[in-house]
Chains A and B, each alone.
Chain A
Amino acid sequence: MHMANELLSVPVATGTLAIAAAGLGFICRKARSIITSDKLALMGVLGAFVFAAQMVNFQLPAMPGTSGHMVGAVLLAIILGPHAGAIVISSVVIIQCLIFQDGGLLALGCNLINMAIVPSYLGYFLYKTATAGTSGSLRAYIGAMLACVVAVEAGAFLVPVQAALSGILVVPFSTFLITMLGVHFLVGLVEGLITVAVLGYLQQVRPDIVLDSVPGKVRLSRNALLITLVVFTVIIGAGLSLFASGLPDGLEWSYAERPDQPDFEPCVSSEDSTIAAVDDFQSKYSLLPDYSIRTSELGKAEQQAETAAGWTSFAAVVGSVLTMAFVWLTARVLRKKQSPKA
């Protein structure tokens, strides 16, 4: 569920980047007093463990050919506590972006929020409230399961919201949302099962890891809990209100400008003041102006202008390709000249 650069508009990307940066800065400051230098190596190695764990796949039932693997946000939050867990998973997401190019640089903010910060805190909170301090019991396993499903779903829920805010995709918001939630319900279920199974294994082999006396355990202070809850309420509230106003086809801005259906009534127009405001905001601050739609109904002169524009873009592409070829050839020739000397 890595968000990609191309599905975001610049305001949304920078906004989420700013939120993620502020959040991470806050968490790091918060955690600095709790995480001592002897836990740094543990956190780093556990981050690497997440990568390795993603390679361990297993066959899913009823779906031959597909295999599931663990993501591990909730497991790490249970083992390390939410602050350290969020930092570890954030570092995993950053490495995925920088080294493996999974998700773009501008989408990093979205990915950090969706996959690291929200699942870690939400998962930890749910696990803690469900288990009430007992590990190894049925209750703890149900709590872990619940935490995994909800944490994954929360992240999956944010992806269509961010995409819809950007307005780049034309896929209707509700369709995208339902697909994402459906697919990630299964993902969360598998994640929950494997997390529970690993917790069960740890309970047998090294119960001290899951208990409170673990290296790297961080207690959640009441203040932090409160702030997280507030942030969640705001995020989910904002998302839900968007969804609500999105149901009467309000979110698809592209639908409001349908030239192929003249009788199509653009229900986005000023009837609802919030939608109008959002729409206004979008058109004002989005760096992407609307399409100039080249329908065949355009006048002859305009069509000629269009064809001329086609020629300039053709020239641009050809020129660029020629430039690239020139650069490549020059570098090659220069390198050949260099290599005998070396």
Chain B
Amino acid sequence: MHHAHIDKFAYQDSLIHRLDSRIKFIVLLAFTAVVISLPRTSPGILACYAVGPFTILVLGRIPLRFAFKHILLISPFVLVLALSCPLYDKTPVTVAFGPFVRQSSLGWMRCFVILAKFVVTMLALIALVSTTRFNDLLTGLRRLGVPKLLIIQLGFLYRYIFVLIDRAHHILRARAGRKLRNLGFKAELKVAAGMLGSLLVRSIENAEHITIAMQARGFDGNWRTISRLRIRRSDLLFAAVAACFLLALHFFVRPVLQ
């Protein structure tokens, strides 16, 4: 496999990696909700909230360049919508930021806040995913009440996603080797359909073989794991620190900034 694993850092070991996936997931959910519900008047406070995920990324030894590169990669949709804000809301405002005071419009403020929130929540999401093995996350989600069928489906999907992406790469390379020019829409569509169809047929045949192999080993529809999920003292400590962080920002920093 020559593609970069998105979650390649999940298999490292660190203080953060060892935490229980349930605690991390719940903390992330709370953090995202709090950040999203922040008022749009003072973007400055978002920097305070950014300290949280940043610290986790650093403690988890995730390269910051990786995180920011990834955020850039997924930003286009939000970027377009955020940049359309200044076109529609031209209420003039005076933005005072320390020594810099300048005229701007409300639309630009909105645009800026949307983008800043995007970066902060995405940092938090990356902090969760790149410090938690996907299987641990699934076990945690199962304990939190996600239906078994969905968990098994996610587990299978995760297991084969990179296999099939690899296969798609091979097919794409084969097409690039044979097709040297644009063939026109109809032919292109036919080629793509053939590629997809053969990929689909091979996937279904693969799945049949996988099923036979798993049934031979006694698979009965239940996913058995050696569960290592246990709430330990460090997990409680992490939850407490996170709660303190959010509460302190809410009660002490927010009133000052607004």
A interface residues, Cβ below 8 angstroms from B: 1-2, 4-10, 13-14, 24-25, 28-29, 31-32, 35-49, 51-53, 55-61, 70, 87-88, 90-92, 94-95, 98-102, 104-106, 168-172, 193-194, 197-198, 200-202, 205-206, 209, 215, 254, 258-260, 287-289, 291-296, 303, 306-307, 309-321, 323-324, 327-328, 331, 335
Contact = CB atoms under 8 A, between A and B. Distances in A.
B150 A40 contact: no
A56 B90 CA distance: 42
Contacts of B241: none
A160 to B, nearest CB: 10
B203 A46 contact: yes
A106 B122 CA distance: 11
A17 to B, nearest CB: 10
Nearest to A166: B36
B94 to A, nearest CB: 5
Contacts of B147: 24-25, 28-29
Contact of B150 (A9, A53, A90, A102): A90
B204 A215 contact: yes
Given A168-B114, A323-B51, 20 more contacts: A2-B77, A4-B118, A8-B36, A13-B33, A36-B221, A44-B156, A45-B160, A46-B200, A48-B203, A51-B164, A52-B161, A53-B168, A90-B150, A98-B137, A170-B88, A197-B190, A200-B193, A205-B201, A291-B106, A310-B96
Contacts of A202: 197, 200-201
Contacts of A32: 149
B28 to A, nearest CB: 7
A170 B107 contact: yes
Contacts of B197: 198, 201-202, 205
Nearest to A13: B36
A5 B155 contact: no
Given A10-B37, A45-B203, A260 B101 contact: no
B238 to A, nearest CB: 16
A49 B154 contact: no
Interface residues of B, number: 118
Contact of A198 (B101, B118, B200): B200
Contacts of B96: 294, 306-307, 309-311
Interface in B66-109: 70-71, 74, 77-78, 81-82, 84-85, 87-99, 101, 106-107
A188 B114 CA distance: 29
Residue among B122, B129, B137, B192 having the largest count of chain A Cβ atoms under 10 Å: B192
A328 to B, nearest CB: 5
A288 B54 CA distance: 25
B44 A105 contact: no
Given A291-B41, A314-B97, A101 B156 contact: no
Nearest to B85: A170
A45 B129 contact: no
Contacts of A205: 197-198, 201
5 contacts: A6-B114, A10-B36, A56-B172, A61-B184, A169-B84
Q: Which 9 A-B pairs have the closest CB atoms?
A: A44-B156, A310-B96, A313-B44, A314-B98, A197-B193, A37-B221, A201-B197, A28-B147, A47-B157
A56 B196 contact: yes
Interface in B21-58: 28-29, 32-33, 36-45, 47-48, 50-51, 54-55, 58
Contacts of B150: 24, 28, 87, 90-91, 94
Interface string B193-236: 11111111101101110110011000111000000000000000
Nearest to A96: B74
B142 interface: no
B53 to A, nearest CB: 10
B6 interface: yes
B182 A59 contact: yes
B117 interface: yes
Residue among A28, A37, A98, A309 having the largest count of chain B Cβ atoms under 10 Å: A98
Residue among B110, B129, B196 having the largest count of chain A Cβ atoms under 10 Å: B196
